[in-house]
Amino acid sequence: MKQNAPITLREFGFSLIEMVAILAIFGVLCLTSTISLGKADKSTKLQIFAENLRFQLDRIAINSKVQGYQYQIQFNPTAYRVVVIRQLSVDAVESISIPNSLSLSWSSGDELGVKCFPSGACSPANISIESKYAKCVLRLSLRGRTSMKCN
């Protein structure tokens, strides 16, 4: 009498063990890609904020020279604001809040922040913006030039 042949994969598809292994691999891939996308999103927010701050620094350096007034960016832990200093008045041009996920620190000759004078000179400063996943450093030179490095 002819014996039945054992079940082969070609006839009935995958075995249970193979299916569980494939689902486990698929789950691990989905989990790691989700985590890495979340980190990438947060570092993108950091870079966008740093680019905006760099734009502000460039703008005050140019405006102080063109308009003949002293401009200043004043920092505190939760926000920064752009201020124009005229002969008898100090006017806030705009105020930008810092997202909760970012921390900002600076080192310059002035405790409040960065100044740019009508002569085109600015107070040199290093401004550090950090999140859990990345860090950007902005450098403002005496001549009002900015550079940015993110990692």
Q: Where are the alpha helices (DSSP H) in 9-108?
A: 9-12, 16-67
Task: pLDDT tens for the chain, 151 residues: list them.
Answer: 556 655 555 555 668 888 888 889 988 888 887 777 666 666 788 888 899 889 888 888 888 889 888 988 888 878 888 888 887 788 888 888 888 888 888 887 667 788 888 988 888 989 999 988 889 999 999 888 899 998 8
Task: Give, as one character, the DSSP assignment of residue 6.
Answer: P
Name residue, tokens 């809040």.
97
Q: Does domain 40-150 have CATH number 3.55.40.10?
A: yes
- CA neighbor of 111 nearest in space, from 94, 101, 123: 123
CB 133 within 8 A of CB 141: no
pTM exceeding the 0.75 threshold for the entire prediction: no
Domain ranges of the chain: 40-150
Distance, in Å, from the CA atom of 113 to the CA atom of 146, rounded to the nearest integer, reads: 15
